[in-house]
Amino acid sequence: MRVIAVALLLVWTCAYSQGPPPSSGKQGQPPEAEATKRKGEAERDQRGTERAPLVIKGLPPAEKTKAESDREAKEREEKAANERSMVTYSGTVALFTVLLFLIAGIQAAMFAVQLSFMKRSLRESETAASAAKSSADAAVKTADLARDQFITDQRPWVTLDAAPKTALAYDSAGWAAGVRWHITVACRAHNIGKTPATRVAVHGNILPFCISAMKMADGKPVGPIIPGTEVKGELEAICAFQEHMHEVNMGFGEVVFPGENRGVNFTLNGNPDKFDPSKLGSYSGQFIVFLCVTYGSTLSDAQYRTAKAFHLWSSKSPDKGIPLTGATIEPAYLGFQLHPMDGCLAT
Return the higher-pLDDT residue of 233 and 72: 233
Three-state SS at 229? coil
For residue 81, being part of any structural domain is answered with no
| Long-range contacts formed by 166-175: CB under 8 A, 24+ apart | 166/331, 167/328, 167/329, 167/330, 167/331, 167/334, 168/287, 168/312, 168/314, 168/322, 168/327, 168/328, 168/329, 168/334, 169/327, 169/328, 169/329, 170/326, 170/327, 170/328, 171/326, 171/328, 175/269
Measured CA to CA, the distance from residue 320 to residue 79 in angstroms comes to: 142
Listed in sequence order, the residues at least 6 apart from 334 whose beta carbon sits closer than 8 Å to its beta carbon are 164, 167, 168, 312, 313, 314, 315
Q: In whole angstroms, what separates CA 108 from the centre of its chain?
A: 35
166 and 275, same domain (yes or no) = yes
Considering the domain boundaries, does residue 58 fall inside one?
no
Q: Decide which of 154, 171, 200 is a domain's last residue.
A: 154
Residue 255 sits in the same domain as residue 111 = no
Identify whether residues 163 and 138 lie together within a single domain: no
Please tell me the predicted confidence (pLDDT) of residue 266: 93
Q: In this structure, what are the phi and psi dihedrals at residue 303, rounded to the nearest 5 degrees? A: -110, 140
pLDDT range class, residue 7, cuts 50, 70, 90: low
Residue 28 Ramachandran class (φ > 0 left, ψ -120 to 50 alpha, else beta): left
Of 109, 136, 154, the one marking the end of a domain is 154
Q: How many domains does the chain have?
A: 2
DSSP SS3 for 255: strand
Residues 176, 201, single domain; the answer is yes
308 and 184 in one domain? yes
Least confident of 60-64, 233-237, 274-278: 60-64
Pairing of strands 282-297, 261-269: unpaired
- Closest C-alpha among 164, 85, 134 to residue 333: 164
CA dist 302 and 298 (Å) reads 9
State the pLDDT at residue 26. 44
pLDDT of 149-201, one tens digit each? 999 899 999 999 999 999 999 999 888 888 999 999 999 999 999 999 999 99
Tell me what the mean pLDDT of segment 207-212 comes to: 90
Tens of pLDDT, residue by residue over 322-347, are 999 899 999 999 999 999 877 888 88
Please say which residue of 131, 154, 177 terminates a domain. 154
CA distance 135 to 67: 97
Helix/strand/coil for 169: strand
Q: For residue 16, what pLDDT is reported? A: 47
Does residue 47 belong to any structural domain of this protein?
no
How high is the pLDDT of residue 3? 46
Mean pLDDT of the chain: 82
Residues 256-298 have pLDDT tens digits of 999 999 999 999 999 999 998 877 778 889 999 999 999 999 9
CA atoms within 13 A on the CB side of 90: 6
Same domain, residue pair 298 and 215: yes
Please check whether residues 233 and 191 belong to one and the same domain: yes
DSSP state of 21: P
Share of the chain above pLDDT 90, in %: 39
Largest Cα–Cα distance in the chain? Answer: 204
User: Do residues 146 and 213 both lie within one domain?
Assistant: no
Same domain, 314 and 184: yes
The top-scoring range by mean pLDDT among 2-6, 55-59, 266-270, 339-343 is 266-270
* Domain of 191, in residue numbers: 158-346
Evaluate whether residue 11 is within a structural domain. Answer: no
